[in-house]
Chain A
Amino acid sequence: MTWLVWRQHRQQALAAVVALLAVALLLVPTGRQMRAAFDDLGLRSCLPGADHSELVAPDGGCASLSEQFSGRFLGLGTASLLLLFLPVLAGLFWGAPLVAREVEHGTQRLVWTQGVTRLRWATVKLALVGGGVVLVAATYALLVGWWIAPLNDATGYRFTWLFFDQQGPVLVGYALFAFGLGVLVGTLTGKVLPAMAITLGGFLATRVAVALLLRPRFLPYQRRTYPTIGGSPAEPNQLAGDWVISRAVYSAQGVKLTPGSGSQALCDQTSAAQCVAKYGAGAYNQELFQPADRFWLFQGIETALFVALTVVLLVLAVHMVRRRIA
């Protein structure tokens, strides 16, 4: 059985290794470049000693160095968003064909009538191929984790959308989920191409829904207020790495004054009159955020969520293989 799984999936394994090498070829040189710049700009020596307090003076601490670094490399970070799509490939090319190709070619009638039960066939196959998915995704996560570390440190964006999504154990969760979804959809449709299309759609929809709707609410927000008219220090420390979900200006009576979720007012002593004119005396900024030290907890929660979804999908798929299709 092990040999059969290897024989049937060795090409996919080879493709995965080649893909990992290609990604490494892209990430290792740019990663080294970022590290060099990180050192040259003095961020490595600046950041550990940087002010970790909640509020800092504008342009204080390492902020200007950080801005220089971001100016150079944030584009790279944005380009790396393409890497967000890598985990879904596990679903498209490993998951969807796993049962569907057998049904499409009729070979399930060969392999399910040998001396092993369908339950055993399905569990061994899913365990081995799923193990391969974990291995590849974990290797990839380590690689990206190394690459993105300077961007994390220099920008404080690690916890924000898209940065959170392309590093850490969640990558393993996403890849497993894509795999499980591919297997189940392939089992239901019995056709490889439709299964791939549905898997792609289902994966993206689930990921977006979890990222936008669930993740901000994994734990209750924290709230922070700070004045509109700056003394010193005046604004939230972005490098602290908190995930700011919304901010707005409130009147002294607590009425929200700015629309949307991304406005703050910061006046210095010379422009204070403008702030007072616009928002009234005693107005303040308020920010809802998830504190930086919850990053790994959130990674853990989201990984567990996707792994649990995977288990449900695979159990359903095994049930279908045992009972329904032939």
Chain B
Amino acid sequence: MSAPATPAVLEATRLGKRYRRTWALRDCTLALPRGRIAALVGPNGAGKTTLLHLAVGLLAPTAGTIRVLGRAPGGDPDLLARVGFVAQDAPLYGDFTGAELLRLGAGLNRRFDQALARDRLGRLGIPLDRRVDRLSGGQRAQVALAMALAKRPELLLLDEPVASLDPLARREFLQVLMGSVAEQGLTVLLSSHLLADLERVCDYLVVLQAARVQVLGPVDDLLDRHKLLVGPRRNPAGIAGVAAVVRATHTARQSTLLVRTDGPVRDPALTVGGVTLEDLVLAYLADPSAGTRPGPAAAPAPNRLEVQA
């Protein structure tokens, strides 16, 4: 039996992870195409960290399977070498200097571009001879990112990389990330709950809610497919071109509907407007029963979104 060639860098099938009695992640089926910068969003406890830890082999699945770069994570040194990972809060050995951390990376990885990392940190003005626990949070995050990128990974997994950073450091971090992605041509999966930042950076979206995948697809398609309809107060059902109403809010006179379309909406009573990524994510998160994702087990084509009814 030969496995079909898949463009997916990360592929999960009915993936689940249970801690004692609670499922941290359940029935998670997704495929992340190569070359994307994917945002993994969801409220705290939705399973984002669990999914990333499963992908990097820190956890083993309770149910289902996960394949990263076509291999099963965990105990596979070849795969470890090809995946960069920055855990939440960017853990580093506090008593090591930056230079020592890079030496650690060089010692533990067959492929580790120390010069690249030194150069990158030098340009950011981060001193390599100082203990990292004396660096600022933003600088530590940069050191952790530089270590992950120095592996020249094919897939980079970042767990809340900017959550603890101030807005300036956050912007700088994301800029460095974008620059490296352009240079190294890697795939990124980045978890965050800071939606505004992600909108500028990410072109693929995974929304996790209550341990399940709720929304999945390329950002462009999702934004194209979702519209904000404003018009006189009305029953949201039965509008031509609307596949589903994700969120409806009503005032005494007016209805505002965030909808998923399956064709043009040509109702003259309605003003049709675009949505932002933040609107879209918040609308879905407000209603756990709504969801849109590619058909099960199908690897999504990069530019097409199949909507599940």
User: Residues of A with Cβ closer than 8 Å to B?
Assistant: 1-4, 7-8, 105-120, 322-323, 326
Contacts and interface: CB of A to CB of B under 8 A. Distances in A.
A118 B74 CA distance: 9
A115 B59 contact: no
A165 B231 CA distance: 89
Contacts of A7: 96, 100, 104
Contact of B87 (A1, A113, A117, A323): A113
B80 A113 contact: yes
B75 A4 contact: no
A119 B81 contact: no
Contact of A115 (B60, B88, B89, B151): B151
A74 to B, nearest CB: 46
A323 B227 CA distance: 47
B155 to A, nearest CB: 12
Contacts, number: 76
Given A109-B87, A113-B80, A3 B107 contact: yes
Contact of A4 (B81, B89, B104, B147): B104
Contacts of A106: 87-89, 91
B87 A326 contact: no
Given A7-B100, A106-B91, A113-B58, 6 more contacts: A4-B108, A109-B87, A115-B112, A117-B75, A120-B77, A323-B60
B85 A115 contact: no
B56 interface: yes
A112 B58 contact: yes
B54 to A, nearest CB: 10
23 contacts: A4-B108, A7-B104, A8-B93, A105-B91, A105-B94, A107-B91, A109-B88, A110-B92, A113-B58, A113-B85, A114-B108, A114-B109, A115-B77, A115-B81, A115-B108, A115-B109, A115-B111, A115-B151, A116-B108, A117-B76, A117-B77, A119-B75, A323-B60
Interface size for chain B: under 10, 10 to 19, 20 to 34, or 35 or more residues?
A: 20 to 34
Interface of B: 53, 56-60, 75-77, 80-81, 83, 85, 87-89, 91-94, 96, 100, 103-105, 107-112, 144, 147, 151
Contact of B77 (A110, A116, A326): A116
- Mostly, the B contact residues are loop
A4 to B, nearest CB: 5
A114 B103 CA distance: 12
Contact of B80 (A8, A107, A114, A326): A114
Contacts of B93: 8, 105, 107, 110
A111 B110 CA distance: 14
Contacts of A112: 58
Contacts of A2: 107
A315 B213 CA distance: 38
A1 B110 CA distance: 12
Contacts of B91: 105-107, 109-110
Contact of B108 (A1, A108, A323): A1
A4 B53 contact: no
Contacts of A120: 77
B116 to A, nearest CB: 16
A117 B108 CA distance: 10
B75 A326 contact: no
Nearest to B106: A3
A4 B92 contact: no
A110 B144 CA distance: 9
Contacts of B144: 110
Contacts of A4: 104, 107-108
A187 to B, nearest CB: 15
A65 B111 CA distance: 71
Nearest to A118: B75
Contacts of B81: 115
Nearest to B109: A115
A111 B58 CA distance: 11
